[in-house]
């Protein structure tokens, strides 16, 4: 089997790379600085696939990535939900009690606030990326400097794990979408999701009427996100995740009803629903 090149945002060892290996353990991972760079790598054939975070169970949506997928005309071909377990990392020989500064992305620092508050005399410093913070600690070789990042980052940069699972909430998870240049419908025997973008007529009650056909067809909506329509100020586009396939009778019925309401429907992808192993 050909090993896929999969682009992700962040430094090597980032949580996005951890999620990537959940989907494809043998993949060749490619790090990029920005989400848009990930999409561009796929469009320019430098990578077969790209992995983009779309929502976190604590922080909420990364809704701009819905816009990025739609605007780049990439197709969603998969999803993965990855647990986020933060660790306190240091160079070999570092001791937790001797740390004086801890680096990480602001979101990661906020998610470990209780633990970090208990570190006496430690300055918490925002950094652009969790794995980037780990790389900086490794580069500096300073036993008083630590980072909040994942186990993969510790392995990548030769750091020691001084404390594990330091996040305040144990159920911290991020959902990622896998994108490709071309759509790839999932096998017929696996549960599927479909992601749609709707542009609705701008009049009272439009959204309520647009959602009714899904309920009438017995379809489960797992996500609804509104985003500004950049072509028309103060009007909105709606992104929906629906359990089911575009070709199924229930989905066809719902989409036909939407079309009669004047909705402009864009299919962003249908893909296998992620099922945790074990």
Task: Based on the residue annotation, tell me whether 206 is a catalytic residue of this protein.
Answer: no
Measured in residues, the chain has a length of: 278
Residue 274, classed as helix, strand or coil, is: coil
Q: b vs e for 87-118, b when ≥16 Cβ sit within 10 Å of the residue's Cβ?
A: bbbbbeebeeeebeebbbbeebbebbeebbee
Backbone CA torsion sign across 65, 68, 70, 74: negative
What's the token pair of residue 56? 């976190």
Q: State the angle between helix axes of 206-216 and 249-260 in degrees (0 to 180), rounded to the nearest 10.
A: 160
Non-local CB neighbours of 146 within 8 Å, separated by 6+ positions:
88, 89, 90, 94, 96, 99, 101, 102, 103, 122, 137, 162
Candidates 8, 176, 214, 238; catalytic one: 176
Task: Based on the residue annotation, tell me whether 176 is a catalytic residue of this protein.
Answer: yes
Residue 62, classed as helix, strand or coil, is: coil
Round to whole Å and give the CA distance between 97 and 87. Answer: 15
Residue 126 backbone phi and psi in degrees, to 5: -70, 140
Candidates 130, 174, 194, 195; catalytic one: 174
The catalytic site residues sit at 174, 176
């Amino acid at each position: 089997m050909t090993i896929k090149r999969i682009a992700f945002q962040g430094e090597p060892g980032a949580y996005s790379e951890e999620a990537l290996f959940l989907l494809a353990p043998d993949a060749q991972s490619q790090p990029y600085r920005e989400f848009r760079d990930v999409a561009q790598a796929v469009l320019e054939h430098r990578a077969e696939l790209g992995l983009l975070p779309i929502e976190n169970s604590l922080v909420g949506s990364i809704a701009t990535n819905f816009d990025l997928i739609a605007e780049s005309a990439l197709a969603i071909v998969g999803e993965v939900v990855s647990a986020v377990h933060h660790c306190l990392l240091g160079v070999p020989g570092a001791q937790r009690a001797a740390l004086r500064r801890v680096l990480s992305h602001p979101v990661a620092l906020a998610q470990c606030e209780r633990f970090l508050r208990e570190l006496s005399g430690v300055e918490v410093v925002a950094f652009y990326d969790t794995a980037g913070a780990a790389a900086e600690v490794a580069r500096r070789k300073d036993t008083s400097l630590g980072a909040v990042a994942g186990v993969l980052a510790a392995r990548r940069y030769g750091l020691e794990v001084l404390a594990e699972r330091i996040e305040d909430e144990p159920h911290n998870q991020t959902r990622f979408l896998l994108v490709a240049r071309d759509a790839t419908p999932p096998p017929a025997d696996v549960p599927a999701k479909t992601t749609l973008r709707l542009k609705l007529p701008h009049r009272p009650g439009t959204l309520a009427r647009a959602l009714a056909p899904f309920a009438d067809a017995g379809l489960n909506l797992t996500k609804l996100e509104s985003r500004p329509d950049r072509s028309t100020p103060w009007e909105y586009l709606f992104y929906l995740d629906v359990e089911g396939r575009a070709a199924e009778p229930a989905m066809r019925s719902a989409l036909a009803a939407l079309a009669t309401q004047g909705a402009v429907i864009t299919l962003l992808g249908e893909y296998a629903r992620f099922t945790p192993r074990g």
